[in-house]
Amino acid sequence: MTDAAAQNPIQADDSNAKRNVLILALASALLGAQMPVHFILGGLAGQLLADNKALATLPISATVFCSMFAAPVIATIMGRHGRIAGFFLGVGGGAVGAGVSALAIYQGSFGLLLVGSALTGIYMAAQGQFRFAAADTASPAFRPKAISLVMAGGLAAAVIGPQMVQIFRESLAPIPFAGAYLAVVALNVLACPLLLLIRIPRPARKVKGERSGRPLREILAIPRVRTAIICAMVSYALMNLVMTATPLAVVGCGFSPDLAADIVMAHVLAMFAPSFFTGNLIARFGAEKIVATGLGLLALCAGVAISGVTEYHFFVALVLLGLGWNFGFIGATEMLTSSHEPEERSTIQGFNDFCVFGMVTIASLSSGALLNGFSDVVSGWQAVNYAEAPFLALALGALIWLAIKGKRSA
């Protein structure tokens, strides 16, 4: 970037950016708590309602599939009407989706559960824009920290979400899980006032026929943009692949649903706790090195998971999974936001999240099929983790290619 702030970041005034980061982090903490609830209960509720148990994780797949198509739509709405409009659309989807999911369990309808899960994908797509919104008003020097600090709001979500499951999952007994979904409805309503405090200027209205930045194909021709998208896709998809299967694998190995919730909570804590210093690491070592570290941690996660199915193995593997996602995804986000112009935000950010959630959809569908495709849960769990290898090779290959290309052009 060549603006004045980039040339002299010391003089950049980030007071409004820091205020936005605080509000976005709080909103992420409260609203983001619904995602652990959906990921913990999606597979368990699917297992309860689906006639074909291989389809148990289909509700989670429905969420990410809907988010894949909702992401570019929400990005376009934000590009025309501002960030707040898109965030409120997401909150509406989250509240309605959770309400429909509760009704589905009450009626014993797997199809209705899929509808509710799909509507939740609208919120998931909006939440994906929180990290980009953090960068909107930040100077280039503050941008990596802004992104990572907003992601740190997920630390509280990691505690709130699983605790909501434990507190409310039997609150409407004998109907399981419905109480937790209704608690998610209340969460969305209560967090709405926070969104009104965000101060990000609306995009300037374009003159009819005026172009807004380069076409998508020209932006994608930038090697760093392509590499960032690939690494974001792989980091998020592999995290989802393993995390989606975890509650079913834990319960299938004889442990309780409460332990499954505790393991997911440890995982989500590991996803977001490093965010307090990930931005500093990116500023010091560069985004590419942090992404490579994240991919290495994902590989280590697979190794631990394959080596055993004790409580210890589940906890360690899922913590490594969270750490790997944090470094890989935040690093890839910084690579992307520093490689395009402000007027190109809605175009490339929407496309990026379309690709990311598309890959996550495939991962979540594959997760249930792999886990239930063998005669025992241990073999299925190992298959889930072996499946990480080719995608890690793809992302690492893209980073190596980018580094070699950079040296040749230097």
- Taking CA atoms, 12 is separated from 126, 137, 161, 380, in Å, by 28, 11, 37, 52
Question: CA 319, 316, 148: angle at the middle one, nearest 5?
Answer: 15
* pLDDT given at position 209: 55
- What would the two tokens of residue 237 be? 């998809």
* pLDDT given at position 366: 86
- Of 40, 268, 262, which is closest to residue 152 (Cα–Cα)? 268
Neighbours of 256 (CB within 10 A): 10
- What would the two tokens of residue 407 be? 């040296």
Residue 75 contacts residue 122 (beta carbons within 8 Å): no
What pLDDT band is residue 9 in, cutting at 50, 70 and 90? very low
Neighbours of 196 (CB within 10 A): 10
Rg of the Cα atoms in the chain: 20
Residues 315-348: tens digit of each pLDDT: 999 999 999 999 999 999 999 988 888 778 878 9
Residues 125-153: tens digit of each pLDDT: 999 899 889 888 888 889 888 988 888 88
Low-confidence winner among 1-15, 279-293, 387-401 (lowest mean pLDDT)? 1-15
Residue 59 contacts residue 102 (beta carbons within 8 Å): no
Residue 6 has pLDDT above 50, yes or no: no
Q: 171, exposed or middle or buried, with CB in 10 Å at 0-12, 13-18, 19+?
A: middle
* pLDDT given at position 210: 57
Residues 271-298: tens digit of each pLDDT: 888 888 898 999 899 999 999 999 999 9
Residues 291-317: tens digit of each pLDDT: 999 999 999 999 999 999 999 999 999
- What would the two tokens of residue 164 be? 């909501």
Which residues are CB-neighbours of 73 under 8 A, at least 6 positions away?
Answer: 125, 350
* Distance, CA of 262 to CA of 146 (rounded, Å): 29
* pLDDT given at position 42: 87
* Distance, CA of 103 to CA of 25 (rounded, Å): 31
Residues 237-284: tens digit of each pLDDT: 999 899 888 988 999 998 988 888 789 888 978 988 888 889 899 989
Low-confidence winner among 21-30, 326-335, 346-355 (lowest mean pLDDT)? 346-355
Amino acid making up residue 232: A
Domains with residue ranges and CATH for the chain:
14-201+216-409 (1.20.1250.20)
Residue 264 contacts residue 250 (beta carbons within 8 Å): no
Reduced to 3 states, what is the DSSP secondary structure of residue 185? helix
- What would the two tokens of residue 261 be? 């919730």
Q: What are the helix and strand counts (H, E) for the chain?
A: 19, 0
* pLDDT given at position 7: 43
Residue 409 has pLDDT above 50, yes or no: yes
- Taking CA atoms, 91 is separated from 76, 88, 103, 126, 288, in Å, by 17, 5, 19, 8, 33
Residue 63 has pLDDT above 80, yes or no: yes
Please tell me what DSSP assigns to residue 51: S
Residues 167-205: tens digit of each pLDDT: 998 888 888 899 999 999 999 999 899 999 999 887 766
Residue 19 has pLDDT above 70, yes or no: yes
Residues 72-131: tens digit of each pLDDT: 999 889 988 889 999 999 999 999 999 999 999 999 999 999 999 999 999 999 998 998
- What would the two tokens of residue 48 be? 């309860």
* pLDDT given at position 275: 86
* pLDDT given at position 211: 59
Residues 369-389: tens digit of each pLDDT: 898 888 889 999 999 999 999
